[in-house]
Amino acid sequence: MIRDRGRIKWVSMMLPEHIKLLRDWVKEDQYEERKEIDEQQLELMNMTLSEAIEFDQFVTITHYRNRNYEIVIGKIHYWDEMAQRLHVVDRFEEVHRIPITAIADIRITDV
């Protein structure tokens, strides 16, 4: 019976710099590309955003941050026009400042 240890047997022959580069390479493989948004989707997101602000509803916002898409669920506290950011307060009273250009999707959510 052959007992092959897989990657473990090669690690002892590699320099720490090589291991770091391989780990960084694997991490870069998981990065997501930013998707383009068409005009119809922008208009729909704008209507959803104004409705959520007007009626103080919970929203699910998908936004692009650190080369990945993240989801925030909360209420829109206010729109900072100077910085072009939404201030969203989630259920744990944590404030998220999301740039309007990073938003990929907005949906009204029932919590």
d(CA 91, CA 47): 23
Q: Mind listing the pLDDT tens digit for each residue in 51-88?
A: 999 999 999 999 999 989 999 999 999 999 999 999 99
pTM: 0.74
CA distance readout (Å), 17 to 7, 11, 20, 24: 16, 11, 5, 11
Residue bearing tokens 């959510």 = 109
d(CA 20, CA 86): 37
**CATH label, 39-108, candidates 2.30.30.520, 2.40.50.140, 2.60.40.420, 3.40.50.2000:** 2.30.30.520
Domains of the chain, residue spans:
39-108
Q: Mind listing the pLDDT tens digit for each residue in 80-90?
A: 999 999 999 99
d(CA 30, CA 24): 10
> Is pLDDT at 11 greater than 70 in this prediction?
no
